[in-house]
Structure 1
Amino acid sequence: MDRIAAIDGLRGLAVLAVVWYHLSPTSLPGGFSGVDVFLVVSGFVVSASVCRHGLVEGWVWAFFARRVRRLLPALVVCLIATGVACMLWVPEAWLSDRNHKTGRMAFYGASNWLMASRGDDYFSPSNDFNPYVHTWSLGLEEQFYLLFPFAIAGWLKGGEWRTVSFLICSGMLVTSLAFGLLPTSDDFRVAFHLVPARAWEFLTGVVTWQILQKGRPAQSKKALLVLGTSGLIGVLYSLGSASPQQFPVPGAIPAVLGTGCLLFSLAHHERTRLSSLLSWLPLASAGRMSYSLYLWHWPVFVLFRWTVGLDGPMQRVAALVVASGVAYASWRYIESHGLRATREWRPSFVVGSGIATMVVGAVLLDAIHHQTGRWSRSTVMRHAEDWFPKTKPGSYLTCGRVDRANAEVGSGWVKTISRKGCPSVSKAPRVFAIGDSHALALGPMYAAYVATTGAPVFLYNNGGCPVLSLQLERESSEHCKRSFQAARKHMMAALQPGDVVFLPSLRLERRVDQWGGSVAPRHAIPSGLAEARNILGELRTVGAHVVVLAPNLLLNVPLFRCADGWTQWQAVCRPGHLVERAEFEARRRPVMLALADLAKEPDVRLFDPLPILCPEDEVVCSGYRGGRPLFFDADHLSAYGSELLFPAFMDLVVSRPWKDVGGD
């Protein structure tokens, strides 16, 4: 089959829908289903390509070689260039912690496996900051290509084997379609990202080609126009209204079935009004460079989101212009040149070279990533010692070293931070810290305590699950209950009289999350006081003392995303890092009153960081002090902020004697 301009136009429609969705998802809510159109077209086109070359010796190697030449050069250049850009401008953070691994897996065509196995799905806000996340569909395609020769081999033999091949492909299609109906949330990620639940989309293209080749019965142009128009309506309907929760089945059915009808119609007659519409030069041109445009637009958009933002019309237009320019260059000088330059190479050599290139590319990406601290232009990375709350002892260590060891506790872990190599024996109390991610953010304070006193700190990983938050709805998930019960059991078995249990957690609703989603400030209504008293009473039965962290300052911006001059263009950074002290005091007052009531219990103390981070004579609180960050994002302390709390923490735990009276 010769190249059909209308099919290029269909590709162009699909890629432009995906680009539009990634720029403005609310204005084209189903634009992501352009990927489903691509998958069907891919199955159709590779079937035509294999059948055109015929059943010759080494045809499988030849097929793989054509796929390598078509996909790999532009992909490798894109991944390496994206890695360099991330090294320069993207700081390391929770929001970017999966980026590098996703990029490395993309070299092997396996980033979709990573996305299927982790907690976030394709539509998670955190994925908006991962420049490699779009490679999941390329991995899906590459994995299907490994299976494709087995499905099409019978067809190439001709005769009755074609019926066998058709039945095999149809059976695989139905089986895959059924697999896509998996119901649970975990299975949604699997079904969305992996071949078993997506193969039916490729196979729709394959089966459409087979039906077309079984014979071309006389079809009226009118009937084909009706079929093709119905298919186009199905595709447009999906692009305009598809719901992510229904994918891949039944949500993708209109786009997939519509694409199959369109392909059947376009391949029958190339001179219809419909084919003329889809052959429109701008649309067909976008289709010819659709692979490069798909490859490059997402990393460009994500890098805009990390730097100058992607919120306003000017930023979106600029991002679109940059993405289009880079995609054109990729198509003209990498994708097309790679096809021409390797055309005379032996297929086995092309495949071997492709595998070697993938391995070398992944190693090179690792090397680039490891240079982030050295070459990054990000303020966060260039002053990492102020920003990242690692468990480093700083200048407090006078002998030996601070050691860290992890042990599993249920589905989580406990980190033991201890001092080694010092002759003196500590008389300071051991500290058991348990809470949500705000407990982990105080690493420098724990390390300073260990380095100074020699007493160990046991830090429980209970991320995402606060302890004693006084808001039961934030602790009521089954995951949080299991996590806390496992840590609680382990801690109670280890506690001795005189030990200190430290309870740091987020006790107010944050103002803004790391990806920029804002939350309307509201006064917290304390609840769960009875449960809190039960926990405190249980700890006191073993003779433990308790320190509860009071609600800390909450900023209006995630500070690490707003630390550089170019980030001031971002909408998330516009509120600034200043907070009215009186407004915050009023907001946290109900929780403070409840905690003060709990602190009347014997051996319970309240540790308030606010006067340290924002002295009482300051009317406006800042996210910085002397140009150094107090916070990493909008609510987790930075390394510098954590270190500032150490003297007060030391005084509260060690310097002042514990008495059997409350209200400290």
Structure 2
Amino acid sequence: MQRTSVTYVPAIDGLRAIAVLAVIVFHAGFLDFLPGGFTGVDLFFVISGYVISQSLAERRHLKFGEYLRDFYRRRCLRILPALLVMLLSSFVLSALFMPQFWLSDQINYTGFAAFAGISNVVLARHGNAYFSPGTELNPYTHTWSLGVEEQFYVVFPVLFFLWLRYRNKTPVVWTLLPALAIASLIICAIQTPADAHSAFYLLPGRFWELAAGAMLYQGIEAWRGTLRSSGIVNAILLCGLGLLASGFLLATPLHFPFPMAIVTVLGAVLTIAGLALPAPEYTSTLQRLLQVPWLTYMGRLSFSLYLWHWPVLVVLRWTTGTQLVVVQLLYPLVVFVLAAMSYHWIELPVRTASCLWLRTPWRTFGLALCTLVLFGGSAFWVTHNTERLSLSQTRDTYTWYAYKHYPREPFNRINDARVRGRQLFVIGDSHAAAYRTLLNNVAIKLGIKVVVYEQGGCGVVTLQDADPANCARGREADFKDIEARAKPGDIVFLASLRMPELQDRDWALGQTAVISQMLKEQTPARLAAAKTSAEADLARLEAINVHVLIDAPKPLFKSPPNRCSDWFNRMNPVCSQGMTVGREPLLRLREAQMKLLAALMREHPGLTVWDPFPLLCPGTQCSAFDPLGKPMFFDSNHLSGNGNRVLEPSFTQVLLHIWDQS
């Protein structure tokens, strides 16, 4: 690649390579070799702050308007082309290989936000923690760092221009960036224990890292190439690289980004200083190692490597899994090839093109906007046509998904005086949402009004423990709405997960050992708390003279059918436990819940228990599929659309029986 800047330091590209390779090794989980490899992003932030400052300083002769237009033109050419190709490719790959599930909307929102440079905001407000399992299934999670940088670029060029123009006349401009950096570090320190999502994903808690690189440039600009002591150079580089290595090896999510990120940022500042300050004839051994050709080439690929490594890894998690040796060997090769293609066929041609459209700022902005709309619109089309594009069996949404499909099967509407004017209120966690097909069919056949209140992870009368405290505010609003709308004789259906999940357990220990451990988890204290919560909810509903219906615990499975039913994912280790579970172990697991339900029924005459277990598991082996091979369950614990239709006649009869007795 041709360089025009006389201040180019090849070893900084080597540093970029170290940063991106650390991140990739961490994400791939290779032998847990770099448990703190995620701090490579913090190294990137410092490098970006320094290099952007250097680039802006080279254009100090421009007027303010030209200066900004030139900066943002170069940012568009640098970031957008490869980013847009990666994003659209990820949307297409997701449609082809990933079943739509309860996180799909969140995943799509993250992807669309990445087009606008605000995916970090979506992840902070609505996503999972960076280190949580759910994040590993989102192909756009890694774009959070690009969002932070792009937001930094909104304010930083103005601050830096003021420093360039007035640093010799107005000393106060030297304090602007340090003051904001200190404020940012304080915000980071406050947010890390109190609001970890915001501290990790958002610019206010990360500004200081990018600012550290910029302040380094401001501080050493006049002394570049003046250091003439090999001993001091080696000491600075050794100390800096040692701190970086400490971050890669010792950083943990517990106290991150504050204070753990300080180690990596300080290491980055020292290393860059050790690379920029020496005179050319005092190049150290460490600097020569950082600028070996293969390493600097990887550094030039670093942006594309970062863009592509994550979606490829996520697609592998959804399909073959990453545990197979052949996959582990192919993964780095695939990422390298994609990154090289992206760099040589997209990044370089766009950045070095002599096309007038790309050399004139306003025309570049117009073309960038049109391309952004085109790619974003294409991604939007993909998300609304997944059934047509998907290679998975789950593309048959009528069978697999608990959507509000209109029934395709013949049915008779029930015109019964018992149900005229009746209402059914449904409240619960994601398992309430998993009854959508059943509830929709009931509403159509009985002609009743069905009102659903669903909050993922917010069970009601879970029978396993006290209802989740973090859901109290939302649940209070739901109960108040029911109290305001319900009439005497209406039914409130409480639908929630009421058994310990089987997925993600260590079944290598043997089924007997795992089941025993799960039974031990159901302590008397937890069951007592569960009974207290249940009695409070039931008493509140009894006070408004409604009937209460609860579903007994349903079968659960060790592997998710939606991820294990296709030729490209059956070999995934997540599928190794199969789609069947013995009836007897499941009955043992739900025994405590069934006893608690029996006790509640004795104390609350208005309570009815509906048990779908016998319909879902009629034999000695419970299967996630019916005898015709149709899924009864979508994943390891939520019903499929087909499972809903199997249960609907039984549920309808229970409703009619309750209203018949009233």
TM more than 0.5 = yes
- The equivalent of 2:531 in structure 1 is 529
Asked if 1:511 corresponds to 2:502, the answer is: yes
- The equivalent of 2:304 in structure 1 is 292
Q: Which moved more, 1:479-488 or 1:445-454?
A: 479-488
1:489 to 480, 483, 493: 480
Equivalent residue letter for 1:306:
W
- The equivalent of 1:147 in structure 2 is 155
- The equivalent of 1:416 in structure 2 is none
- The equivalent of 1:413 in structure 2 is none
How far 1:653 moved relative to its partner? Answer: 2.1
CA, structure 1 residues 348+652, in 2 after alignment: closer, same or farther (shift >3 Å)?
A: closer
CA distance in 1, matches of 2:537, 2:508: 33
How far 1:590 moved relative to its partner? Answer: 2.3
Equivalent residue letter for 1:427:
R
CA, structure 1 residues 53+469, in 2 after alignment: closer, same or farther (shift >3 Å)?
A: closer
How far 1:462 moved relative to its partner? Answer: 4.0
- The equivalent of 2:612 in structure 1 is 609
Asked if 1:375 corresponds to 2:376, the answer is: no
- The equivalent of 2:210 in structure 1 is 202
Equivalent residue letter for 1:491:
I
Asked if 1:468 corresponds to 2:468, the answer is: no
1:346 to 354, 360, 368: 360
CA, structure 1 residues 188+531, in 2 after alignment: closer, same or farther (shift >3 Å)?
A: closer
How far 1:197 moved relative to its partner? Answer: 2.0
- The equivalent of 1:33 in structure 2 is 39
- The equivalent of 1:415 in structure 2 is none
Asked if 1:47 corresponds to 2:49, the answer is: no
- The equivalent of 2:561 in structure 1 is 559
2:489 to 481, 484, 498: 498
- The equivalent of 1:4 in structure 2 is 9
Asked if 1:392 corresponds to 2:405, the answer is: yes
- The equivalent of 1:261 in structure 2 is 270
Equivalent residue letter for 1:183:
Q
Secondary structure class of the residue paired with 2:638: coil
How far 1:645 moved relative to its partner? Answer: 0.8
Aligned residues of 1:580 and 1:621 also touching (Cα < 8 A): yes
CA distance in 1, matches of 2:256, 2:123: 15
Aligned residues of 1:581 and 1:620 also touching (Cα < 8 A): yes
2:245 to 236, 247, 250: 236
CA, structure 1 residues 61+596, in 2 after alignment: closer, same or farther (shift >3 Å)?
A: same
Aligned residues of 1:431 and 1:501 also touching (Cα < 8 A): yes
Equivalent residue letter for 1:585:
L
CA distance in 2, matches of 1:639, 1:148: 52
Secondary structure class of the residue paired with 1:214: helix
Structure 2: state its 5+ residue gaps: 1-5
How far 1:320 moved relative to its partner? Answer: 1.6
How far 1:427 moved relative to its partner? Answer: 3.5
* RMSD of aligned alpha carbons: 2.8
How far 1:341 moved relative to its partner? Answer: 1.2
Structure 1: state its 5+ residue gaps: 401-418
Equivalent residue letter for 1:363:
G
- The equivalent of 1:590 in structure 2 is 592
How far 1:120 moved relative to its partner? Answer: 1.9
How far 1:304 moved relative to its partner? Answer: 0.8
Secondary structure class of the residue paired with 1:458: strand
Secondary structure class of the residue paired with 1:501: strand
Secondary structure class of the residue paired with 2:128: coil
2:24 to 19, 23, 36: 19
CA distance in 2, matches of 1:599, 1:235: 61
Q: Which moved more, 1:158-167 or 1:494-503?
A: 158-167
CA, structure 1 residues 649+207, in 2 after alignment: closer, same or farther (shift >3 Å)?
A: same
How far 1:370 moved relative to its partner? Answer: 1.7
CA, structure 1 residues 643+15, in 2 after alignment: closer, same or farther (shift >3 Å)?
A: same
- The equivalent of 1:406 in structure 2 is none
Q: Which moved more, 1:61-70 or 1:547-556?
A: 61-70
Equivalent residue letter for 2:474:
S
Equivalent residue letter for 2:384:
H
How far 1:33 moved relative to its partner? Answer: 0.8
Equivalent residue letter for 1:47:
S
Q: Which moved more, 1:93-102 or 1:132-141?
A: 93-102
Asked if 1:652 corresponds to 2:657, the answer is: no
How far 1:534 moved relative to its partner? Answer: 4.9
- The equivalent of 2:438 in structure 1 is 445
CA distance in 1, matches of 2:194, 2:434: 29
CA distance in 2, matches of 1:325, 1:256: 30
Secondary structure class of the residue paired with 1:61: helix
CA distance in 2, matches of 1:193, 1:220: 40
CA, structure 1 residues 267+343, in 2 after alignment: closer, same or farther (shift >3 Å)?
A: farther
Aligned residues of 1:69 and 1:342 also touching (Cα < 8 A): no
CA distance in 2, matches of 1:159, 1:464: 54
Asked if 1:190 corresponds to 2:219, the answer is: no
CA, structure 1 residues 461+656, in 2 after alignment: closer, same or farther (shift >3 Å)?
A: closer
**1:239-294 Cα distance to aligned partner (Å, 9 max, x none):** 11112232333221111111111111111235211101211333222111111101
Secondary structure class of the residue paired with 2:189: coil
- The equivalent of 2:601 in structure 1 is 599
- The equivalent of 2:581 in structure 1 is 579
CA distance in 1, matches of 2:409, 2:419: 15
How far 1:504 moved relative to its partner? Answer: 2.2
**1:557-584 Cα distance to aligned partner (Å, 9 max, x none):** 1221112122122111110111111111
- The equivalent of 1:246 in structure 2 is 255
CA distance in 2, matches of 1:530, 1:145: 53
How far 1:334 moved relative to its partner? Answer: 0.8
How far 1:221 moved relative to its partner? Answer: 1.7
- The equivalent of 1:620 in structure 2 is 621
CA distance in 2, matches of 1:162, 1:324: 48
CA distance in 1, matches of 2:547, 2:393: 40
**1:63-87 Cα distance to aligned partner (Å, 9 max, x none):** 2222222111111111111121112
CA distance in 2, matches of 1:529, 1:253: 47
CA, structure 1 residues 262+542, in 2 after alignment: closer, same or farther (shift >3 Å)?
A: closer
Q: Which moved more, 1:53-62 or 1:128-137?
A: 53-62
Secondary structure class of the residue paired with 2:191: coil
CA distance in 1, matches of 2:538, 2:167: 79
Paired-residue identity, %: 34
CA distance in 2, matches of 1:206, 1:162: 19
Equivalent residue letter for 2:488:
P
Secondary structure class of the residue paired with 2:223: coil
How many equivalent pairs are there?
634
Aligned residues of 1:96 and 1:129 also touching (Cα < 8 A): no
**1:398-422 Cα distance to aligned partner (Å, 9 max, x none):** 799xxxxxxxxxxxxxxxxxx9xx9
How far 1:323 moved relative to its partner? Answer: 0.9
CA distance in 1, matches of 2:203, 2:352: 31
How far 1:638 moved relative to its partner? Answer: 0.8
Aligned residues of 1:397 and 1:451 also touching (Cα < 8 A): no
- The equivalent of 1:178 in structure 2 is 186
CA distance in 2, matches of 1:198, 1:112: 11
CA distance in 1, matches of 2:74, 2:659: 76
- The equivalent of 1:407 in structure 2 is none
Aligned residues of 1:396 and 1:452 also touching (Cα < 8 A): no
Secondary structure class of the residue paired with 1:459: strand
**1:19-65 Cα distance to aligned partner (Å, 9 max, x none):** 00110174312111101111111111122222223312422222222
Q: Please report the TM-score for the alignment, with normalisation by the length of structure 2.
A: 0.89
